Amino acid sequence: MTEQNFIPKAYSNTIESGKVTWESPSNIALIKYWGKKKDQIPENPSISFTLNNCKTITSLTFSKKENTTNFEFEVYLDGEKKDDFKPKIETFFNRVEVYLPFLRNYKFKIETKNTFPHSSGIASSASGMSALALCLMSLKRQLNPDMPDAYFNQKASFLARLGSGSACRSIEGDLIVWGRTGVIEESTDLFGVKYPYKVHENFKEYQDTILLVDKGEKQVSSTVGHNLMHNHPYAKNRFQQAHDNFKALKPILESGNLEAFIQLIESEALTLHAMMMTSMPYFILMKPNTLEIINKIWKFRQETGLHISFTLDAGANVHVLYPKNEASVILEFIKNELVAYCQNGHYICDQIGMGAKQLTM
């Protein structure tokens, strides 16, 4: 597969107007994507759990227009016009136009909402960009109805990647790999693929309770963060470590070895933050309460032998990960001991999910 496979031939149908709606989930990486090359190509392979409850719902209304000189679109979040979202979408349209040559032929209204609060510190770029990519693919499918489902998903993931790297892991469930690794034959830098090997029962319906430690705007955009991996003194070793972790993860997922799983994902989370702390300029995205929570998790794990663990994304929030069969005791602990460290006591209960869904044709 190369980029060329996604450049379309002539369309067989003409469509004047219509509306499609998709809901698309967020995802949480276990092996992290941090560092990219030109054209949103990742420096290392990553793998994520697709989430179930943190979603973006996007409707795309389209009508044919005469003048094809510009992109024409309006964006609404929760019913309110959002002109500040336009530059990101304009950049996205420019990047994907060669793969969706109809973009200048339509006027679009993009209406979007998230199931999680906008200012929760939860990145909406993965769910948002994947939902938009899926809506555009639905229009494309109306223009070319004989498109196989597998191609639809691949191209949706490919387009989502061009909007935001991690968004390419938000099309399907439940464990998604993005980036070429020798461990997984079908893996590619171009789009996300479902993890193809055996996954132990221990990981079915794995729980993710997201503790909202800091709901403020991101201090450092992920694009800036990724770029700091260029000329980073530890970059080469970090990228190699991600490859090595893929090799280690395969037998862990197969055998259900939770101790080894916990060690691997916590090390990945801390490595991500270590890369930020050792870049130039350097920065710290964890807050004192992030560390309080991590220490409490470690103490509780040691005392109980339960399989509670954490991961982090590029922010202060903590994703508490644990198996379904330990959920009731661990959730009690979270409510009694950890929620106090969340901003306004806010947290979100989530678990592994099955991927994006089309809501209207």
Residues that bind ligand DP6 (CB under 6 A): 29, 32-34, 40, 46, 123, 125, 164-166, 222-223, 226, 272, 313-314
The least distance separating ligand DP6 from the CB of residue 32, rounded to whole angstroms, comes to: 4
Q: Which is nearer to ligand DP6, 229 or 342 (CB)?
A: 229
The least distance separating ligand DP6 from the CB of residue 169, rounded to whole angstroms, comes to: 7
The least distance separating ligand DP6 from the CB of residue 34, rounded to whole angstroms, comes to: 6
Beta strands in 86-206 (DSSP E): 106-114, 175-178, 193-194
Q: Which is nearer to ligand DP6, 141 or 161 (CB)?
A: 161
- Return the SS3 of 291: helix
The least distance separating ligand DP6 from the CB of residue 35, rounded to whole angstroms, comes to: 10
d(CA 332, CA 14): 56
The residue number with the shortest CB distance to ligand DP6 is: 165
Q: Which is nearer to ligand DP6, 52 or 222 (CB)?
A: 222
CA atoms within 13 A on the CB side of 167: 29
The least distance separating ligand DP6 from the CB of residue 225, rounded to whole angstroms, comes to: 7
* CA pseudo-torsion sign 295, 297, 298, 302: positive
Q: Which is nearer to ligand DP6, 122 or 330 (CB)?
A: 122
Strand 106-114 relative to strand 72-77, pairing:
parallel
Q: Which is nearer to ligand DP6, 68 or 223 (CB)?
A: 223
Quick one: 7 exposed, middle or buried, by C-beta within 10 A (0-12, 13-18, 19+)?
exposed
Q: Which is nearer to ligand DP6, 32 or 141 (CB)?
A: 32
Q: Which is nearer to ligand DP6, 223 or 304 (CB)?
A: 223
d(CA 308, CA 320): 7
d(CA 340, CA 327): 19
Q: Which is nearer to ligand DP6, 40 or 157 (CB)?
A: 40
* CA pseudo-torsion sign 164, 170, 174, 180: negative
d(CA 334, CA 212): 12
CA atoms within 13 A on the CB side of 309: 22
The least distance separating ligand DP6 from the CB of residue 29, rounded to whole angstroms, comes to: 3
Whether the upstream peptide bond of residue 148 has omega within 30° of 0, thus cis, is: no
The two tokens of residue 86 are 């336009």
The least distance separating ligand DP6 from the CB of residue 55, rounded to whole angstroms, comes to: 16
Alpha-carbon separation of residue 132 from 57, 94, 177, 274, 359 (angstroms): 9, 14, 20, 32, 13
The least distance separating ligand DP6 from the CB of residue 290, rounded to whole angstroms, comes to: 14
